[in-house]
Every structure is written in C-alpha cells, then in structure tokens.
Amino acid sequence: MPIRVRYFASLRERIGRAEDSLDAQPDLTVAEVWATLQPDRPLDSNTLAALNQEYVEYDRRVSDGDEVAFFPPVTGG
C-alpha cells in the first residue's frame, strides 16, 4: 500500500491539491517524503508534520500504508 500524503490549510492552497500518494522506499523519512513530492519547495521549518495523525519530527521513518500530513501552525480555539 502506498504512503498517503496530505496537505492542509494554506499549504494545501499553495500546493494546489489536498493529497499525494507515494510508494514507500526503505528508510524513507518524513523530510524525504516532502522533498520527493515537492522538489521545488524547501520544507519551511514552521511546517508541522504528522505521521498517522500524531505529531512527529521530520526525521521519523515512514512505512508502507502510513499517512503523512504537512500543515502550517494551527490556529483553532
């Protein structure tokens, strides 16, 4: 099963779509998922990353079937 990659809010609008799909590779990290899918956009250090709906650092490893999400600082409440 491929990795499901999701974008939210201003990031979703800038990228122009809500999600991507990516085949897993050995030892792939969250940062590498971004770099593979967004080669022309450096990963802004403000961008938050979640793996399977939990916050993670960019160096976390990603596996087949995982859900990775990237989004800007949250502004609820």
Partner 1 sequence: MHIEVCEHAFSPWERLATFESEHGPRQGSFGATATFVGTMRDFNEGDDVVSLTLEHYPGMTERQLERIVSGVDDRDGLLEVLVLHRVGQVVPGDPIVLVAVWSAHRAAAFAACRQIMEALKSSAPFWKKEELKDGQRWVAQNTPG
Binding site for partner 1 (CB under 8 A): 6, 8-10, 50, 53-55, 69, 71-77
Q: Which tokens in the block code for residue 19? A: 């999600």
Rank residues 9 and 25 by Cβ distance to partner 1 and give the closer one: 9
- The least distance separating partner 1 from the CB of residue 67, rounded to whole angstroms, comes to 9
Rank residues 3 and 69 by Cβ distance to partner 1 and give the closer one: 69
Rank residues 40 and 54 by Cβ distance to partner 1 and give the closer one: 54
Nearest CA among 50, 56, 52 for reference residue 67: 52
Give 5: exposed, middle or buried? Use CB within 10 Å, 0-12, 13-18, 19+: buried
